[in-house]
Amino acid sequence: MRFYTGQHRYYCGIDLHARTMYVCILDHETGKILVHRNLRCEPDVFLRAIAPYRDDLLVGVECIFCWYWLADLCSQQNIPFVLGHALYMKAIHGGKAKNDKIDAHKISVLLRAGAFPTAYVYPRGMRATRDLLRRRLYFVRRRSELFTHIRTTFHQLNLPAPAGKFHHPRNRVGVAESIPDPVVRASVEADLVLATHLDEVIRSIEGTIRDQAKVDDPDTIALLKTIPGVGRILSLTLLYEIHDIARFPRVQDFLSYARLVKSQKSSAGKITGTSGAKIGNAHLKWAYSEAAVLFLQKNPPGQKLLNRIRSKHGKGKALSILAARLGRASYSMLRHSPAFDMDRFMN
C-alpha cells in the first residue's frame, strides 16, 4: 500500500458518480471546509467551483469506472491529481453513516493527513487500447460459455461428444444436425450463430489492437514474445497491463501487483493466514496463468521444471509457482532488455 504524502495548500476530495460528484475542499493549515456541495459532472462546473483555490490544489478521487474524464481534465489544466485505491480506502466505508457528503469529506481528510492510498493513473494515450483488450477477453469468455453449453447439451442427451475444439470453425460443421430433438437443436443452433458472430467481432478487435500496438511499443512486444508460449495476444495483454515496468521498484512489487504471490498475515510471531487475494491486476494474473499453461506445450525443459516443482510443492501449487517464475523473468527482461534465456530460467 502506498500513500500520497505530498503537501498542498488545499485538498479537494471528490465522491464521484456517473452524473454527479460531491466536492469537498479543505484548507491545509486549519482543516476548515471551504467548499462542500454537490455538482454536475461537467468540466466547466467543476473548474468554476475550484477556481479560487487552484494556486496549490490537490484533487483526489476513489478509483471507480468513471474517473477517466476527471483525470484528463486535471492533466490538461495542470492540477495535481491522485487516484485512490478502492480496496484500501476502508476509512470511507467503515463509518456508522455513509453518504456522498461524508465520503467527499473523508477523502479530503485522508489527503490532508497523508493517508490517501494511491492507485496508478494509467496514461490517456494507451488507455483505450488496454480497455479494448479487456473487452476482447470478455467476448472470448462469452464465446467459451457458448461452446461449454453445446458440450453440456451433448452430455445431457448422452450423445457422442463432437470431435475437436470449437474455436476452429471447421469443427462446428454438422454439430447441430446431429441432435435429433428439433427444440434442443434450435438451442444449439442459436449458440453456434452467436459464436460465429463473436468470431467476427473478436477478429476485428484483434486487427485494431495489432495496428495500434505497432505504433505504441513494437520492441517490447517482440521481447515478450521470446518467452515460449507467449504469442500475439498474451504479449499485447502484458504490454498494456504493465505499461511501464519502472513503476515497480522491486520485482516483489510487480509480483504482488500481478497477484502472483500471496500476502502473509502474522501477529505476535504467529502466521494467521493470507490476505489480499483480490488486490492487484486480475488481467495480469490471467495472462501469466495462461502463459504458464502455454509455456509447457512442446517444451520438454519446461515440463521437466514443472515436474520438479510438483514433486516439491504438490500438483495444486505447481502451475501457480511456474506463473510467478514467468512473472519474475519478464520483469527482469523488461528492466534490462535481454531476450528470454531458458537455461537461466531453469536454474
DSSP codes, 295-306: HTTT-HHHHHHH
CA distance 176 to 190: 10
- pLDDT given for residue 305 in this prediction: 95
CA distance 279 to 328: 19
C-alpha cell at 54: 487552484
CA distance 131 to 129: 5
- pLDDT given for residue 194 in this prediction: 97
Query: What burial class does residue 167 get, using C-beta atoms within 10 Å of its C-beta: 0-12 exposed, 13-18 middle, 19+ buried?
Result: middle
Nearest Cα neighbor of 240 from 130, 121, 158 is 130
- Are 116 and 107 contacting, i.e. CB atoms less than 8 angstroms apart? yes
- Are 236 and 221 contacting, i.e. CB atoms less than 8 angstroms apart? yes
pTM over 0.85: yes
- pLDDT given for residue 91 in this prediction: 65
- Are 111 and 60 contacting, i.e. CB atoms less than 8 angstroms apart? yes
C-alpha cell at 27: 484548507
The tens place of each residue's pLDDT in the chain, 347 residues long, gives 889 999 999 999 999 999 999 999 999 999 999 999 999 999 999 999 999 999 999 999 999 999 999 999 999 999 999 999 988 887 666 777 889 999 999 999 999 999 999 999 999 989 999 999 999 999 999 999 999 999 999 999 999 989 899 989 999 999 999 999 999 999 999 999 999 999 999 999 999 988 887 777 888 999 999 999 999 999 999 999 999 999 999 999 999 999 999 887 777 778 887 777 788 999 999 999 999 999 999 999 999 999 999 999 998 899 999 999 999 999 999 999 899 999 999 88
Which alpha helices (H) appear in 159-299, and where do they start and end? 182-216, 218-224, 232-242, 251-257, 282-295
